[in-house]
Amino acid sequence: MSSHATRSSSTKHAAVIVNPVGVDTVRLRSVVALEEERHGWGPHLWFETTIEDPGQLAARTALQLDPAVVIVAGGDGTIRAVAEEVVSSGIPLAVVPGGTGNLLARDLGLLAGFEASVRTAFTGSDRAIDVGIAELEREHGPATTHLFLVMTGIGLDASMASGTNSILKRRIGWLAYADPISRSVLGNERFLMHYRVDGATERSISAHTVIVGNCGTLTAGILLLPDAEVDDGLLDVVLLRPQGFWQWLRVGSRLTIGGILQRTSGGRVVLQAAPRLRAMEYVQARRLAARFDSPQNIELDGDSFGPITAARIGLRPRALRVRVPRQSSVPHRPGARSGVPLGVGGGRPEVDHLARLVTDDPGVVPRFDAHDVVGSDLALGAVVHHHAHPPRDHVTEVG
């Protein structure tokens, strides 16, 4: 549903695209009207998403009316849908968080409040961020290409996207994910993935979960991809392959504690000191091509896209302009796996002790581990080995 009127070409106006599920539309209209009057803008355009149109059609229609900014109010899925159209326009996208996770808003520091988010749309500055591109192949039908801003994955997060009750999500938020998470972890089912990183030789691995991300922090402050930056021209990949319950417990502890520690300078020292867990492997890359022996469910920014047989994932560096508060910057999150030996905290025993809490081998910095790789060493290992100083050039295409 939309509403708009003829407006002067010399007067700035905003286009508002809102997911009415979970967003107070009356309040949003009121706050937007207040800000546009305060800053001398013309009346805004108003569009609401529907089941049939999650945001792409609304965005296309809005762009034809030449808005100065597109304000999207909703969760990560709604933002993703609108961004698919806005990304090529050069028009900035302003985010008003209104979903369960709000991971992009969290990563960009846009969780200051409803009124503050709307105010930023009119007074903020623009930041260019990377956009992930996923080309998906299925058993039947043509390949489809989709954009993502936060992350895409197969395994645990895909189970969360497809197995979570939407009503529960609205009522109890991220706690609704507890059931699909527990079922996925207890089942601990693996899949065989044949993959290629940045055009290297194809390798194979058995894994429970593969996640490719542009943002690193999950709901509840869980730090999944410690080195992920929204504008570094690189994709961050994590492979989860715990052998059983106790390794899952280690993974959960590492992710939870990592999210807490990264908020302080002392905690960041701990993260830098902690070796990698054997059940987790990280890599940064520009492209990832993968195929599967059997169809696997995939999610993009929290929305399920069903089973696929292959995927090619790349990105467009700094392709999307996002409106952020003035003088805002995306904080760098130091990695939790720099390969630095324990004890880098200047000999402080409390730092070394905390580091041991988040690793399963506190006495050694393990080199690349490939005990369950099919056929040969994991190609990701070579990239992980040099992960502390990744290449910074931004020549990136899906291929």
Q: Let me know if residue 241 belongs to a domain.
A: yes
More confident residue, 3 or 292: 292
Instruction: Please check whether residues 136 and 114 belong to one and the same domain.
Output: no
Phi, psi of 240 (to 5 degrees): -105, 125
What token pair was written down for 272?
């830098």
The per-residue pLDDT of the chain, averaged, comes to: 76
Q: Let me know if residue 378 belongs to a domain.
A: yes
- The domain boundary, picked from 84, 105, 123, lies at 123
What token pair was written down for 294?
């059997």
- The domain boundary, picked from 123, 148, 170, lies at 123
203-245, pLDDT tens digit by residue? 999 888 899 999 988 776 778 888 899 999 999 999 888 787 7
Q: Which residue has the tokens 């931004």?
A: 394
The CATH number assigned to the domain holding 75 equals: 3.40.50.10330
More confident residue, 363 or 50: 50
Instruction: Please check whether residues 214 and 358 belong to one and the same domain.
Output: yes
Nearest residue to 46 via CA among 30, 31, 62: 62
Residue 363 belongs to domain spanning: 132-318+329-385
Q: Let me know if residue 399 belongs to a domain.
A: no
CA dihedral 174, 179, 181, 184 (to 10 degrees): -160
Q: Specify burial of residue 114 (Cβ count, 10 A radius: 0-12, 13-18, 19+).
A: middle
Instruction: Please check whether residues 99 and 203 belong to one and the same domain.
Output: no
More confident residue, 163 or 16: 16
Task: Look at residue 286 in the predicted model and tell me its pLDDT.
Answer: 95
What token pair was written down for 278?
């054997």
Strands (E), 42-124: 45-48, 69-74, 93-97
Q: Let me know if residue 148 belongs to a domain.
A: yes
Per-residue confidence at 334, pLDDT binned at 50, 70, 90?
very low
Instruction: Please check whether residues 41 and 155 belong to one and the same domain.
Output: no
The CATH number assigned to the domain holding 302 equals: 2.60.200.40
Instruction: Please check whether residues 264 and 213 belong to one and the same domain.
Output: yes
Task: Look at residue 95 in the predicted model and tell me its pLDDT.
Answer: 97
48-73, pLDDT tens digit by residue? 999 999 999 999 999 999 999 999 99
The DSSP code for 194 is E
- 160 within 8 A of 339, measured Cβ to Cβ: no
Average pLDDT over residues 151-173: 58
Instruction: Please check whether residues 45 and 177 belong to one and the same domain.
Output: no
Instruction: Please check whether residues 61 and 117 belong to one and the same domain.
Output: yes
Task: Look at residue 101 in the predicted model and tell me its pLDDT.
Answer: 76
Count structural domains, the chain: 2
Nearest residue to 358 via CA among 225, 267, 228: 267
- The domain boundary, picked from 93, 123, 153, lies at 123
Q: Which residue has the tokens 């003088």?
A: 327
Instruction: Please check whether residues 46 and 88 belong to one and the same domain.
Output: yes
Q: Let me know if residue 264 belongs to a domain.
A: yes
Q: Let me know if residue 112 belongs to a domain.
A: yes
Instruction: Please check whether residues 37 and 153 belong to one and the same domain.
Output: no
Instruction: Please check whether residues 246 and 140 belong to one and the same domain.
Output: yes
Task: Look at residue 228 in the predicted model and tell me its pLDDT.
Answer: 92
Per-residue confidence at 166, pLDDT binned at 50, 70, 90?
low
Instruction: Please check whether residues 294 and 173 belong to one and the same domain.
Output: yes
How far apart CA 232 and CA 377 sit, in angstroms, is 27
Within 8 A by CB and 6+ apart from 165, the residues are 176
Q: Kindly report the pTM of this predicted structure.
A: 0.74
Instruction: Please check whether residues 27 and 97 belong to one and the same domain.
Output: yes
Q: Is the pLDDT of residue 354 over 70?
A: no
Q: Is the pLDDT of residue 22 over 70?
A: yes
Q: Let me know if residue 393 belongs to a domain.
A: no
Q: Let me know if residue 394 belongs to a domain.
A: no
Find the range with the poorest average confidence among 87-101, 131-145, 358-372. 358-372
